[in-house]
Structure 1
Amino acid sequence: MASRIEMVNPIVEIDGDEMARVLWHWVKDMLILPYVDLKTEYYDLHVKKRDETNDQVTVQAAEAIKKWRVGVKCATITPNAERVREYNLKKEWVSPNATIRKILDGTIFRAPIMMRNIQPAVRFWRKPIVVARHAFGDIYDGVGLRFQGPVEAEIIVKQGDGRTLCAKFPKIDGPGVIQGIYNIDKSIESFARASFRYALENKLDLWFAAKDTISKVYDARFKEIFNNVYESEFRDKYEAAGLNYHYFLIDDALARVVRSEGGFVWACKNYDGDVLSDFIASAYAGTLALMTSTLFSPDGYFLSEAAHGTIQRHYYRYLKGEKTSTNPTAIIFAWALALKRRGELDGTIELVDFAFKLEKAVRVTIEDDKVMTADLAKVAEPPINRTVDTESFIIAVRRNLEKLLHKSNP
């Protein structure tokens, strides 16, 4: 390429922790900066930076996405007691992802990155299963208490009109724990609408699963809102497209998922989606490094990230000077998706084309060249005996990217 691709508006770049942070900069330095005149508004969400700013940097990053509409995020630590000691933190800060999702009020779509030579562990699956995860409320914004019992407990809600609502728990023999969670109709409606729209645009059926037979108020409200949104806004469109919407109890849904051929969006409440998206990723490829994670908000905000975490064990080995065979595919795709979205919004065709070629370069590397990190080699068909370290994998991707770009610009 004679010159780097120019950008009109920036992407909000959110840096992270540990090995994911190392991979983040390798990918950016070797696969993006040589070809794109990258404009970003940078926020460092390293756990120490969050601690120093009392987590205000996380809020600032989310507000920046509202301004620029596109963000890309590296994996971050959600500290527990052990991590507080390790990094000498002030407290156990809440999940930065939960903070960002609450501010943007989006729905997370997690989709497998399917490769020809990596077959799903579930032999029936031939098409992708996309998990749509509600990104608001549930345990991520809940409260909890430990108590010495026996106790009597109740939930008291004071409404704006002065009325009070009350729900009592059965008498509790203690000691024990108690938890309260909530959600709001507006967010559930946005979740439903985003799920129906995504499935329609991608020509996939939509499944929604909950447990309204047991959770007769909380889960039942989700079911009711999904049905209302479908009937009032999407039934005619789905029937015209030959698509279907199904509600299942979540245990029944899981059984159906395992024996299905795939090819649908599975909408889940926040915690359910957190757990089941990892299950889907592992069942497709045995690794979270072959799954994309994108957040869409009803106001048009977009955030892409890798579905995996900070890769702590590999980071400790890296600090000792060891080379690791850590798979950067999901991080590469996160950058590609953000660049693609930025280009679509700004009308920058060259940027969109580059993003597609970056994804294709990864596929050529894995499918045709059979160059793989250790996690992929053991699940490939046929198995691959030789694996490469992370930097060698990125170099191989760059080599294929150069070829694809040269074809377009001889």
Structure 2
Amino acid sequence: MTKIQMTTPLVEMDGDEMTRILWKLIKENLLEPYIDLKTEYYDLGLENRDKTDDQVTIDSANATIKYGVAVKCATITPNQARVEEYNLKKMYKSPNGTIRSILDGTVFRAPIMVKGIEPCVRNWEKPITLARHAYGDVYKNVEIKVPGAGKAELVFTAADGSEVRETIHEFDGAGILQGVHNTDKSIESFAKSCFEYALDSKMDLWFATKDTVSKTYDGHFREIFDSIYEKEYKAKFEETGIEYFYTLIDDAVARVMKSKGGFIWACKNYDGDVMSDMVSSAFGSLAMMTSVLVSPAGIYEYEAAHGTVQKHYYKYLKGEATSTNPVATIFAWTGALRKRGELDGISELCAFADKLEKATLTTIESGRMTGDLVLITSLENAQKLGTEEFILAIRDELDTMVG
């Protein structure tokens, strides 16, 4: 069979642990037999990030700006235990946070719905798309362990030397401090990305923060959203027949649980991280979630929304059987390949991405699936397949579809 030819490479960001194993299996079995795969490869595995002092992460983000489309494997954000386990030079920040801040984009995440995997929330009939701000907050924070009594202050020194100073807390003993920030430019990009995505998908847009408590920080997010909506998008939303509204994050959670789905829920960075995991779990599995970072400049980075599946990796290293769900990682590849095909005018590449997704879902709907899905499926006589066995079952379906 003649392989599909690519003209522009994808930026390929390899990752860590069990998802790195999945990455290799997916390429060897589901991509390379069918596509003359062109990628610019960056190894974002933790060892190589440490070896390059994390420069490889920055380089991969800049390459994404150059080529326009990237696909990323799940990576480790190290805590102290990981620093010791991998003998790292330091506790590196989230590679996703670094990439997102460079690309200045918004992360859109939606559950992958498939027959036999019904949402835990019975009234959810349509996917709920999470729009997560992709810059700042705790992902770009500065932290201090307070050793003892003293005064903590928040100080801003302007370019002209003038200062704004606020007391945070007067400590009478040990404690902790955290400083976070954001920028108007990034918040404006977040807002515009959300409004544009809502118009393109013709879905209502909800935005939620906690401005009753964080009156300045969260309140500024709301002010920027409201201003841009009124000036640039209100008429377009009304013409399209969709709605934008703001609500508190706790009220949004209550509304979401009672909704039928089919809308976009925009959240600040950390809120979006947590709520996307909640939504994906409630729809079925963390491994059944698409995730794409979209920048205002029209740059796309596709990834799996879940972690590196550490427990399965340790089993794999011991030679024990694993049944790890690769669906989100497969859909990261199909999303990137489809977008590359759209941008380069390669219809065969777009069609292949569609077929691979259909082959993946058809395999599950036939009752062949990984262990996490067997536990929650409504299909009778579901068969639990091992990690590689499931990928090979998808390949059988794909071979039938591509002839």
TM-score (norm 1): 0.96
Within a 5 Å distance, the mapping from 1:195-344 to structure 2 comes to 195-285=194-284, 287-344=285-342
- CA separation in 1, counterparts of 2:341 and 2:55? 29
RMSD between superposed Cα atoms in Å: 1.1
Preserved contact between residue 71 and residue 302 of structure 2 (Cα < 8 Å): yes
Alignment of 1:72-91 (within 5 A): 72-91=71-90
1:390 counterpart letter in structure 2: T
Q: Secondary structure at the match of 2:383?
A: coil
Of the three residues 381, 386, 390, the one matched with 1:389 is 386
Partner of residue 46, structure 2 = 47
Q: CA deviation at 1:4?
A: 0.3
* 2:371 counterpart of 1:374: yes
Counterpart-to-counterpart distance in 2, 1:225 and 1:130: 21
Q: Within 1, Cα distance between the matches of 2:279 and 2:173? A: 37
1:383 Cα deviation after fit: 4.7
CA distance in 2, matches of 1:193, 1:263: 20
CA contact (8 A) 2:291 2:332 kept: yes
1:134 aligns with 133
CA distance in 2, matches of 1:145, 1:33: 48
Query: Residues 168 and 383 from structure 1, CA distance in 2 versus in 1: closer, same or farther, beyond 3 angstroms?
Result: farther
**Corresponding pairs, count:** 403
2:157 — aligned with what? 158
CA-CA distance at 1:382 after TM superposition: 3.0
Q: Does 1:189 align with 2:188?
A: yes
Q: Using the aligned pairs only, state the percent identity.
A: 56
Q: Deviations over 1:143-181 (max 9, x none)?
A: 111113432221111122333222222433331111111
Task: Please tell me whether the aligned partners of residues 377 and 384 of structure 1 are also in contact (alpha carbons under 8 angstroms).
Answer: no
TM-superposed deviation, 1:277: 0.6
Take 2:9 and 2:287, find their aligned partners in 1: how far apart are those partners? 26
- Aligned equivalents of 1:55, 1:126: Cα separation in 2: 42
Q: 5+ unaligned residues in a row in structure 1: which ranges?
A: none
- How many angstroms does 1:255 deviate by? 0.6
Alignment of 1:92 with 2:91, yes or no, is: yes
Asked if 2 retains the 8 angstrom alpha-carbon contact of 1:378 and 1:384, the reply is no
Runs of 5+ consecutive residues of structure 2 not aligned to the other structure: none
In 1, the alpha carbon distance for the partners of 2:344 and 2:393 equals 30
* Residues 1:384 and 1:206: Cα distance change in structure 2 (over 3 Å): farther
Partners of 2:370 and 2:301 in 1: CA distance: 26
Q: Which residue matches 2:20?
A: 21
Superposition TM-score, scaled by structure 2 size: 0.98
Native 8 Å contact 1:295 1:303 kept in 2: yes
1:19–1:315 Cα contact (<8 Å) kept: yes
- After TM superposition, list the pairs within 5 Å mapping 1:160-179 onto structure 2: 160-179=159-178
1:353 to 347, 351, 354: 351
